[in-house]
Structure 1
């Protein structure tokens, strides 16, 4: 079974069976990972990225830093979606 988390993005999800990992174990592991990613997202959003810290650099330096920060938040969001897909897949299997 696969779950689509974003347009055009499908995650490969396990087919739980008697010989494989217990869905409850997957649920617990991915729940912990999801909590950690949520904390990372919140900490990055709260971390300073202000134009005043780039005033002695070329004018485009702050814009570049801000764009990089948004890209990193996007990557975290993708990781969040991936982990959440595994988590809910395990929950649904029980």
Structure 2
């Protein structure tokens, strides 16, 4: 997925994801969007388990990340940002 896991420590806080930059993405807007998308969908999976007792697969989470990034790319006014988000979306399996 383009993650640089070598830069992550064993215990890392959520706020460190923005400073360590495990995505190796140069554009801070894109990095923030992709990280938010991933964390948002992990949270949705957790909520499905806690509140609805639904067990979601990693593939389901990955597909939602892909779909969200494509949706969000359509709202970008910058063609380069749009292309980057579409590029990131392709890293998630269909």
Common fold: TM-score over 0.5: no
The structure number with the bigger radius of gyration is 1
Bigger relative contact order (CA 8 A; separation at least 6): 1
Structure with the bigger percentage of strand: 1
TM-score, length basis structure 2: 0.33
